[in-house]
A and B are shown apart, each in its own frame.
Chain A
Amino acid sequence: MHEAAMRPGDDVILSVQDLAVHFPIGGSLLGHGQRLLRAVDGVDLELKRGECLGLVGESGCGKSTVALSLLGLLTPTRGRIVMDGQPVSGKQSGDRKALARIVQMVFQDPYASLNPRQTVRRTLEDPLRLHGVTARSEIEGRLEAMLKHVGLRPEQAGRYPHEFSGGQRQRIGIARALILNPKIVICDEPVSALDVSIRAQIINLLLELKETLGLSYIMISHDLGVVEHMSDRVAVMYLGRIVETGGWREIFERPAHPYTRTLIAAIPDPLRRAPLATTKGELPNPLNPPDGCAFAPRCRHAEAVCQRAPVPSLETRPDGHAVRCWRADDIAGEAFADAALT
């Protein structure tokens, strides 16, 4: 654990140690010929109170599997998750209800994630009732306060999802996630299904709510602009493992892993017409991962050492910036801007 994590008052609300989620694929009834898909393979994460941790990576890298494990919707193969002081992995993970009061999720698609046959009131009331809030006046009070928090009017509570625009629906999705006063909110691509002109409204709202309600976020997104804007720290995942993690400034200004550099330089910007960085090929098949560093087959810095086992370890520097790359020191001197232009 690095220095920053040990400052008093800087307490950790979520800690994940060596999380692994493996899925058996195919094989006969008796399991012969079965193969193992290592969707998440040894992930350590730490979220401090009031912090926003960005989790980025391409589809298939395991970021959503991490999220589902944190919500107790998937049982991890191994690892330890401690949330607000309570261990939630292993045998205890059965208690979804207790977990629901600590961690909630805002989903990507506000069209698919709201029940079209339930009014907003019903969508927000049900969790309260399930968790023992039955007094009419308390339900009304919390409902009204929550709608105001997310920028909706209390009189809109009787309406159905189809009566709202995409941005308003996402506000309802956020209200649903927050109604039980969770401490941690996992935002899984919260704006990517929204119109471009609406995204800023939702990003601003999420940041405001984080301050006023004292929330901690895990922000999953492929939009690095959104991640840079919202995150305090960032973890970059590749094929089930974290390949780089650090403060937002380290990750975006001084990215050390070739994969992180490629990701950042592949984003087109409306005001800079630089050529986009490209890599060779696509994410390897997770059923048949390459030996050694998983990014080596696509990496322009790869050498013989990278293609042999073992997998490089995540080396943490004194400032908390950690990188999983055999050649991190060799390429550190190479200015990032140059790397972006290749």
Chain B
Amino acid sequence: MTTAPLIEVEDLRIDLDGRSSRVAAVEDVSFRIERGETFGLVGESGCGKSITALALIGLLRRPLSVASGAIRFEGREIQSLSAAEQRDLRGDRIAMIFQEPMTALNPVSPVGRQIAEMFVLHKGKSWREANQLAVEALASVRVPAPERRVNDYPHQLSGGMRQRVMIAIALACGPDLLIADEPTTALDVTVQAEIIELMRNLCAERGTAILMISHDLGLVANVCRRVAVMYAGRIVEQRGSDEIFRACAHPYTQGLVDSLPRLGTRAAHGRSRLREIAGVVPAIADFPSGCRFNPRCAQATEICRTTAPETTWLDAGGLVRCHHHA
């Protein structure tokens, strides 16, 4: 038990049921997260990063479903658990925070009650005890005057404060894994910096592992130790965050880094035309055959159009899926 990784995803395939057809929205996705580790999933909208996370906590609903592969939490297969066992895991051992706290929080319930509920449901506390713990939880995410704020409704709080409440709810039961799906996309950069510091510090103190999902390469590189880049339902590159954007092995990762107007580039090198990635992100029903990036890739050859590349393990650690990897 102790040797099993905290979470292990193996050859995960998630299908999307259409009226007449079934397509794989996520395919061949494998990764593992150790206890206390920070792992990032980066990719554009529609690449499958969010539904991969939902699969981890057993929240996929029709028309999406896990078609094959395994998700193991401490060695136990999540798919084989009963609905009640999954519910016990969710919120208690695995918690999640979402992009838009205004829609994730209940608008007609005071925030204190929404935090207290966690202690009542998962820890068997009385409401009286739970309410007291809710004040402490709000204090731990540095909400000023927590004993008054517990009575506030979500609309009375600012965006940053609401996301703090989300974090308080998520960390209430001391989970082993925190899934953060675009946790700061709706926030201003200065507030984002605060929320990220808070999340990172609290998780480090408590030994909570983080699975962070974002389209922001900079943010993921900043928070996570290891990063997987997803494109059109597959992981194309997975490595340590110090290397992955500095010495990209996959043309898509390289393309993303090159296309960014990074702060300081113009001052150092003058303004040049940004490198573009040609074409568009394919829709799930139109994933191309072979390597899914091939229609947009400058290095694509015949084999890229016909055969999906296998995983190549890199000497420096990590993996890449490309016939012509760097």
Task: Give me the interface of A with B, judged by CB distance under 8 Å.
Answer: 58-59, 165-168, 195-201, 203-204, 207, 222-226, 228-230, 248-249, 252-253, 262-264, 266-271, 273, 275-279, 282-283
Q: Is the CB of B280 within 8 A of A269?
A: no
Contact at A222–B266, with CB atoms within 8 Å? no
Q: Report chain A residues within 8 Å CB of B262.
A: 225, 269-271
Summarize A's interface: helix, strand, loop or mixed: helix
Tell me whether A270 and B245 are in contact in the complex, defined as CB-CB below 8 angstroms, given that A195-B45, A225-B263 are known contacts.
Answer: yes
* With known contacts A196-B256, A197-B255, A222-B189, A248–B266 Cβ distance under 8 A: yes
Question: Contacts of A165 on B, CB cut-off 8 Å?
Answer: 280-281
Are A268 and B218 in touch, CB under 8 angstroms?
yes
**21 A–B pairs (Cβ distance < 8 Å), ordered by A:** A58-B191, A197-B259, A197-B296, A199-B259, A199-B260, A204-B273, A204-B274, A223-B261, A225-B262, A225-B265, A263-B189, A264-B263, A266-B192, A268-B216, A268-B221, A268-B222, A270-B221, A270-B262, A271-B245, A276-B197, A276-B222
B276 lies within 8 A of chain A by Cβ = yes
Distance in angstroms from B284 CB to nearest chain A CB is 14
Q: How far is the CA of A277 from the CA of B190 in the complex (A)?
A: 8
Chain B proximity of A240: nearest CB distance (Å): 16
Task: Indicate whether B175 reaches chain A with its CB closer than 8 angstroms.
Answer: no
With known contacts A229-B265, A252-B264, A269–B277 Cβ distance under 8 A: no
> Once the chains bind, are A195 and B221 in contact (CB under 8 Å)?
no
Contacts of B219 in A (CB 8 A): 268
Q: A residues within 8 A CB of B222?
A: 268-269, 273, 276
The answer to whether B221 and A266 touch across the interface, beta carbons within 8 angstroms, is: no
Asked whether A196 lies within 8 Å of B193 as measured between CB atoms, the reply is: no
Selected from A168, A225, A249, A273, the residue in CB contact (under 8 A) with B241 is: A273
Of residues 145 through 174 on chain B, the ones whose CB sits less than 8 Å from some CB of chain A are 158, 160-161
Q: Which residues of A contact B276 (CB under 8 A)?
A: 200-201, 204
Q: What is the predominant secondary structure among interface residues of chain B facing chain A? A: helix
In the assembly, what is the distance between CA of A168 and CA of B221, in Å? 30
State in angstroms the CA–CA spacing of A266 and B196 once bound together.
Answer: 11
Find the B residue at minimum CB distance from A276.
Answer: B193
B277 contact set on A, CB distance < 8 A: 197-198, 200-201
Query: By the criterion CB–CB under 8 Å, are B194 and A269 in contact?
Result: no
Tell me if A229 and B273 are in contact (CB < 8 A). Answer: no
What are the 7 tightest A-B residue pairs by CB atom distance, in nearest-first order?
Answer: A268-B218, A229-B261, A200-B259, A276-B193, A200-B274, A58-B188, A270-B217
A-B contacts besides A224-B263, A269-B218, 4 pairs, CB < 8 Å: A198-B281, A270-B257, A271-B262, A279-B193
Q: Quick one: CB contact mask for B273-297 with A, threshold 8 Å, 1 for yes?
A: 1111100110000000000000010
Contact among A197, A203, A264, A283 for B261, CB-based, below 8 A: A203
* B189 pairs with A58, CB closer than 8 A: yes
Q: Enumerate B227-278 residues with CB–CB distance to A below 8 Å.
A: 241-242, 245-246, 252, 255-257, 259-267, 271, 273-277
In the assembled complex, B35 has its CB within 8 A of some CB on chain A: no
B44 adjacent to chain A (CB < 8 Å): yes
Asked whether, in the complex, the Cβ of B190 is within 8 Å of the Cβ of A279, the reply is yes
For the complex formed, measure the closest distance between the CB of A284 and the CB atoms of chain B, giving whole angstroms.
10
Judge whether B215 is part of the interface by a CB distance below 8 angstroms: yes
- Report yes or no: B191 in contact with A282, Cβ–Cβ below 8 A: yes
**Alpha-carbon gap, A326 to B61, bound state (A):** 57
Query: Which residues between 167 and 215 of chain B lie within 8 Å of chain A, taking CB atoms?
Result: 188-194, 196-197, 215
Contacts of B246 in A (CB 8 A): 271
A267–B189 Cα gap in the complex (Å)? Answer: 7
> With A201-B276, A204-B273 known to touch, is A59 a contact of B188 (CB < 8 Å)?
yes
Residues in A neighbouring B192, C-beta threshold 8 A: 266, 276
Give B231's nearest chain A residue, CB to CB.
Answer: A197
Nearest A residue to B195, CB-CB: A278
